[in-house]
Structure 1
């Protein structure tokens, strides 16, 4: 599904009418793009299996449809942070025959028994977790498939490398008695999005040392995994047996300062669109939205988009005296143009200055972000990264924070 890279051969931006399903906006998720992206990531890591990270409702794209698309694209593993996400996938029929499933972020009280009964691999990152997993294995009569999480320098969840002896011997004893199978050893990088940063090499060295210690102690690992999206795309020496891309599965660049999605042969899967609620003429000097951060400089036309921070649109993407607001594609064909949010982002709406003589009407569709299609008049349609730049954040947050009240509409362009 690779998009042509020559702007002259790529299709013009088009906006589709909304279907009147009761909400004046939608997030369109193209499952073909997810399949394409997983295939691309598999090609970038030919010696490793792919674990597609589908946590946080698949970065806002929809947990179950996105997981199924990732598996169809070649992912042999799926990964989620929370136990509830793993159980939701199994309940939806995403079975172990389709993909292994790993969940990794637990607090005391998590129902490990339910995870083992659902054939979910679990990560342990502290001594208490070893005890609880072993207890669940004994109670269910199932051997727990365990991945040991080691903190190699991120300073977040995981056993510190110096404290490996606090958990590894207990896991190996449990393996000897048949309650545990130590399947994997893994860690996470702090600055993989800066491939030349010295911390990447330092964490790699710590990981290698921990692997050596674990294997000398008797660990018989199926998978060793360290690479996230950025490392999958930029650091083949970190691929090991399994790579764990998240953001790139959904077509966004994990290294935006180095490469765009198109540079990496990734296709953004989500397009957020809304219908204009109101279009009205105003005079020069009209203040716009709360605090009048923006004031019209001429007689013009304002368009109200019925989305705001209650839908996950970042308030930091307001436009006015402090800087340009989030970008929005207005119009289509030769009339397509990118405008910036005028004034403060409100809970339920934002405002666009459509310009004098604007021909847009209430009900016309505008696009907040999607694929960076070239526009006939020059420039490209806005992306999640453009919104991240406007809000001073990262593209991960733009899609993940999108509100639940915005309907997700899943399409499949390869089967349309």
Structure 2
């Protein structure tokens, strides 16, 4: 069963909503392009991930609107499949989940001076603290609200992004003093891995050692955090020694292999499929230059099909020329440069008609590329590919919703 997200600007589809009794294969013809989000694939991936870390809690990361898949929808599916925590970057993202009716434990880890800590604390949102100054601001906001905030202290372990470094001993001592006064509850100590996608990278062991030392310093200060968490998707699938009390999985949840140079050890199902309708078809002679710069010339007389998707919709510009696009189980090549809002396919002698559906990205069943393939060809990361797809002209349709 399907539904079209009403959170997207569906201007190309004239705001069309598809009744939940309509099957995805008969998506309303007024949509020129759309993303099918398979929530059963989310549930499958969460279950497979959880099997790799049976002793740890599983946080599913739904920041950036669930990597553009829809944070509330992914969150509900993940929780139904056994996830116990949700993670987002900003307080705004966390508050949006609360407004959507999601009451599960939720950590927001990216904030700065003047952030709405009090509003977050009142909504039961757990917060990260990177410094003494930030912790003090959180405590002040909590006192104004009359609540005790749940805090995850972040230690610097070698990524040199967010997290306390030289200030760590002072931060844990301050947190312990606040905790003794009943002003905060420190529930977590955490950090983030820089090179976990490369399983044998020496930084992984080094960060583990630094993390364990940070935990030891916290415990020596009198803290007893019940959640030590370091592992991302890649480490969750390959490094059980880094699971600790909780793991945080983003990319694997969405069915994309988080490892570099090797297959994932569990079967992951891609969640998003990007489809569009052909809008124009014409014959072209051999040697015809196609799209800007004439970087592609037809090798023989052929049929060209116009597809209303481009780089403004998240399709990588280069070097995708010749990349396969799926059409009824066959792979047809992309011809010439991707434009802002359209691209051209060389479909040979296939009997393609305006209105026919092609698949730009998905699990590969229709002859299309997966997100990992797009990333490899374009020189971008899989994260960038996924998060770049959440554009207004390509609304989300949710399939297999329960």
* 2:19 aligned partner: none
Aligned equivalents of 1:301 and 1:38: distance in 2? 42
Contact kept? 2:324, 2:369, Cα under 8 Å: yes
* 1:7 aligned partner: none
Aligned equivalents of 2:131 and 2:239: distance in 1? 29
What does residue range 92-107 of structure 1 map to in structure 2 within 5 Å? 92-95=100-103, 99-107=104-112
Does the alignment pair 1:19 with 2:28? yes
The DSSP-based 3-state class of the residue aligned with 2:167 is helix
Count of matched residue positions in the alignment of Structure 1 and Structure 2: 378
Does the alignment pair 1:175 with 2:162? no
Q: Residue 343 of structure 2: which of 326, 345, 350 is its match?
A: 350
Aligned equivalents of 1:370 and 1:153: distance in 2? 35
- Measure how far apart 1:179 and its partner are: 1.3
Aligned equivalents of 2:358 and 2:372: distance in 1? 18
Aligned equivalents of 2:48 and 2:203: distance in 1? 27
- Measure how far apart 1:114 and its partner are: 0.5
* 2:53 aligned partner: 45
Aligned equivalents of 2:266 and 2:364: distance in 1? 13
| TM-score (norm: length of structure 2) | 0.91
Contact kept? 1:17, 1:364, Cα under 8 Å: no
Deviations 1:328-362 (A, max 9, x none): 111x2xxx22123211111100111111x221111
Contact kept? 2:333, 2:347, Cα under 8 Å: no
* 1:270 aligned partner: 272
What does residue range 229-308 of structure 1 map to in structure 2 within 5 Å? 229-260=233-264, 264-308=266-310
Deviations 1:58-97 (A, max 9, x none): 01110111100010010010000011110000011101xx
What does residue range 123-138 of structure 1 map to in structure 2 within 5 Å? 123-138=128-143
- Measure how far apart 1:317 and its partner are: 4.0
| TM-score (norm: length of structure 1) | 0.88
* 2:382 aligned partner: 395
* 1:71 aligned partner: 79
Does the alignment pair 1:60 with 2:60? no
Aligned equivalents of 1:204 and 1:140: distance in 2? 37
Unpaired runs of at least 5, structure 1: 1-14
- Measure how far apart 1:256 and its partner are: 4.7
* 2:221 aligned partner: 217
Deviations 1:287-330 (A, max 9, x none): 111111111121111011100011111112441xxxx4x43111
Aligned equivalents of 2:319 and 2:110: distance in 1? 31
Unpaired runs of at least 5, structure 2: 1-23
Larger deviation, residues 380-389 vs 236-245:
380-389
- Measure how far apart 1:17 and its partner are: 4.8
Does the alignment pair 1:194 with 2:198? yes
**Segments ≥4 residues shifted beyond 6 Å:** none
